């Protein structure tokens, strides 16, 4: 199928932008059965859906000669969930309809509302905006929808997720009964179906997304790592992939701020997007990514909605998404329009089962792999450098003259070594990951732990506790070596472990000082040696020949106090301080 049946000016605009044939969703809305009807469209993000609904509304906007119909009030209204998406849609429709003489006005939060009202007063065939700002203009009388022929709800599922139901209802209730409603939604939850039943008539269902896949052009990887190693894994992934553009998803604006600062300090060209940034700051950040002045974007879910970066090839879920839908929305920022992309989930060991269940629910086959090590990154750096230096290039006389001067001063080997040094100096240093070495390491003999200090962690088997990641965690957080950690005994709800007496005080101070690095991981000293059966029955000393005692079993009692008391204080009821009641 080609664009031959479209008005000449629209066909020329598409050819000028490099379109040779319609994408599947564009072809579907141009079929005869879709002409003049309400539509419910499910299409993969980046499949050309903006141009698709732009073409679907052509009959309502253009006259017999292919020119825009004169209009004092809007003929088409496009509602998008975020400012970035609304601005992107506005740009797409502007180049599509500019030769036909149609005016496009954008109304979004963060912009000057007075300028928007003046633009609406001058008249426009197409209005694009976010629900809140459009509702504000409607209530102030600046937006007149009585002549509207088509309304488009772009990414309707996200708009409902973001709490725009009331805004959408007021806007749609203000439109004529005979207008067309084009509903574009990546997913079809019950609220979207209810919205369609209320505001659409005999809608044609169009889907170009296969039911048994997430995004076919996205390669999913999952990496189980120590919680304290996540930031280092991010650094190594960025260095290993060297993506043209990458986006890193965090759960909160505080985490965005922290990770952005950390990456910038390491030498990455990074920008941040979160709710604390103004529209002007967001525009500058996105433009830096488009201009390639920045290659990494650290963002929250809401701030990244509607972002369209054609060069984006890597998505890293630094913090696990809340559910499968958010996973797919995040990952859908890459792998667009036939291009390949990679989505990577960084999974703390304790949350692997939850992520596996989420992937199964989303029908995503993710490959579980180890994060790239510093050695692998340096090897990849060498290969990339050889490829760049050995690639054929055109050399002018100025370059030859400078090369001759260099050869006169230094040998070819020295010059080549200098090139390698300059190249490596410009790259952020890869990180040594704690989880890289899963092989058992030499441990101190039992005689070294006569009278060693015992500690308790609040994680056990039900949290997927495993010595392979617990040992590196203890060493890193407590600033001790593997040889200074003794027995590690994991029970259902907690873990007890031994530390050499000589470093016990330093270990506890260091570990508690870094408590914020691993949310939810707590440590408490154990007074004496852990018991094997009853909490108050002391076990025999371990002389190195006996079998290690089993970890203590937690006893559930009503109104129980702390699991263990600090050194020098027991847990007897008479020694506990009664809590004061605030009146």
What is the average per-residue pLDDT within 561-569?
39
Kindly report the length of the chain: 583
Residue 139, pLDDT above cutoff 90: yes
Domain co-membership, 54 together with 186: yes
Note whether residue 432 is domain-resident. no
Give the whole-number percent of the chain exceeding pLDDT 90. Answer: 32
pLDDT of residue 579: 46
Q: Does 92 lie in the same domain as 43?
A: yes
pLDDT band (50, 70, 90) for residue 123: very high
In a domain, 579, yes or no: no
Is position 249 within any domain? yes
| Whether 203 and 222 share a structural domain | no
The pLDDT value recorded for residue 450 is: 58
Which of 374, 392, 413 marks a domain boundary? 374
One DSSP character per residue, 202-262 reads SPEEEE-S-TT-S-TTEEEEEEEE-GGGHHHHHHHHHHHH--SEEEEE-SSHHHHHHHHHH
Digit-coded pLDDT (tens) for 328-370: 878 877 876 567 889 999 998 878 888 998 898 888 889 999 8
Average pLDDT in the chain: 81
Neighbours of 99 (CB within 10 A): 17
Tell me, what's the pLDDT at 263? Answer: 94
Are 491 and 551 in contact, with CB atoms under 8 Å apart?
yes
Element holding 485 (H helix, E strand): strand 485-490
Please calculate the CA angle 39-42-43 and round it to the nearest 5 degrees: 120
Burial (Cβ within 10 Å: 0-12, 13-18, ≥19) of residue 81: buried
If you average pLDDT over residues 539-543, what whole number do you get?
A: 39
Q: Where in the sequence is the domain holding 42, given as residue range(s)?
A: 8-207
| CATH, residue 490 | 3.30.70.250
Residue 27 within a domain: yes
pLDDT at 464: 77
Place of tokens 């490596």: 424
Whether 350 and 238 map to the same domain: the answer is yes
Q: Report, as an integer, the average pLDDT of 437-443.
A: 38
Residue 134 shares a structural domain with residue 177: yes
Does pTM top 0.75 for this prediction?
Answer: no
Q: Would you state the pLDDT for residue 338? A: 61
Is residue 141 one of the residues assigned to a domain? yes
* Separation of alpha carbons 188 and 211, rounded Å: 12
Q: How far apart are CA 374 and CA 26, in angstroms?
A: 45
Are β-strands 495-499 and 453-457 bridged in parallel, bridged antiparallel, or unpaired?
A: antiparallel
CATH number assigned to the domain comprising residue 122: 3.40.50.300
Single residue among 207, 236, 271 that ends a domain in this structure: 207
Whole-number pLDDT of residue 549:
39
Output the pLDDT for position 212.
Answer: 38
pLDDT per residue over 23-40, tens digit each?
888 888 888 899 889 999
pLDDT of residue 447: 44
More confident residue, 153 or 161: 153
Report the number of distinct structural domains present in the chain.
Answer: 3
Sign of the Cα pseudo-torsion (312, 317, 319, 322, in order): positive
Please give the pLDDT value at position 277.
82
The answer to whether position 390 is within a domain reads no
Where a domain ends, among 334, 359, 374?
A: 374
Same domain for 203 and 223, yes or no, is: no
pLDDT at position 534 over 90:
no
How many Cβ atoms are within 10 Å of 544's Cβ, its own excluded? 11
């Amino acid at each position: 199928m080609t664009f031959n049946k479209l008005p000449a000016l629209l066909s020329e605009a598409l050819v000028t932008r490099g379109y040779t044939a319609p994408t599947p969703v564009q072809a579907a809305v141009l079929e005869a059965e879709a002409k003049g009807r309400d539509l419910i469209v499910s299409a993969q993000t980046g499949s050309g859906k903006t141009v698709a609904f732009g073409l679907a509304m052509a009959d309502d906007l253009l006259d017999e000669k292919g020119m825009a119909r004169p209009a004092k009030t809007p003929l088409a209204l496009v509602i998008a969930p975020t400012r970035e998406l609304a601005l992107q849609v506005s740009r797409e429709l502007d180049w599509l309809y500019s030769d036909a003489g149609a005016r496009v006005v954008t109304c979004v939060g963060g912009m000057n509302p007075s300028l928007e009202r003046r633009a609406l007063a001058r008249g426009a065939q197409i209005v694009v905006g976010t629900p809140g700002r459009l509702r504000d203009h409607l209530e102030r009388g600046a937006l007149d929808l009585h002549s509207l022929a088509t309304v488009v709800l772009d990414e309707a599922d996200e708009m409902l997720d973001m709490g725009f139901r009331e805004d959408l209802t007021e806007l749609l209730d203000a439109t004529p009964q005979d207008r067309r409603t084009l509903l574009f939604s990546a997913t079809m939850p019950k609220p979207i179906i209810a919205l369609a039943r209320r505001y659409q008539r005999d809608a044609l269902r169009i889907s170009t997304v296969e039911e048994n896949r997430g995004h076919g052009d996205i390669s999913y990887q999952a990496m189980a790592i120590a919680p304290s190693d996540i930031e280092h894994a991010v650094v190594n992934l960025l260095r290993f992939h060297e993506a043209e553009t990458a986006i890193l998803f965090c759960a909160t604006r505080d985490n965005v701020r922290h990770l952005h600062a950390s990456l910038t300090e390491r030498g990455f060209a990074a920008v941040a997007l979160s709710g604390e940034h103004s529209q002007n700051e967001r525009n500058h950040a996105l433009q830096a990514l488009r201009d390639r002045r920045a290659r990494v974007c650290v963002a929250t879910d809401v701030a990244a909605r509607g972002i369209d970066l054609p060069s984006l090839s890597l998505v890293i879920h630094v913090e696990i998404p809340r559910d499968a839908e958010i996973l797919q929305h995040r990952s859908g920022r890459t792998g667009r329009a036939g291009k390949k992309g990679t989505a990577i989930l960084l999974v703390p060991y304790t949350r692997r089962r939850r992520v596996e269940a989420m992937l199964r629910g989303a029908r995503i086959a993710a490959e579980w792999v180890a994060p790239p090590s510093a050695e692998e990154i340096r090897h990849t750096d060498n290969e990339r450098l050889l490829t760049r230096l050995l690639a054929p290039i055109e050399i002018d006389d100025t370059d030859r003259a400078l090369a001759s001067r260099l050869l006169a001063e230094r040998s070819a080997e020295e010059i080549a070594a200098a090139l390698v040094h300059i190249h490596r100096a410009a790259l952020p240093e890869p990180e040594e990951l704690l989880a890289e070495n899963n092989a058992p390491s030499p441990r101190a003999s039992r005689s070294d732990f006569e009278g060693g200090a015992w500690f308790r962690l609040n994680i056990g088997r039900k949290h997927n506790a495993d010595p392979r990641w617990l040992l590196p965690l203890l060493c890193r957080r407590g600033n001790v070596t593997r040889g200074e950690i003794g027995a590690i005994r994991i029970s259902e709800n907690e873990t007890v472990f031994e530390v050499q007496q000589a470093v016990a005080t330093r270990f506890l101070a260091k570990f508690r000082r870094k408590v914020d690095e691993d949310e939810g991981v707590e440590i408490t000293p154990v007074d004496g040696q852990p018991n094997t059966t009853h909490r108050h029955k002391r076990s025999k000393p371990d002389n190195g020949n006996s079998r290690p005692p089993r970890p203590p079993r937690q006893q559930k009692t009503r109104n129980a106090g702390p699991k263990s008391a600090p050194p020098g204080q027991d847990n007897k009821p008479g020694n506990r301080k009664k809590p004061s009641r605030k009146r």
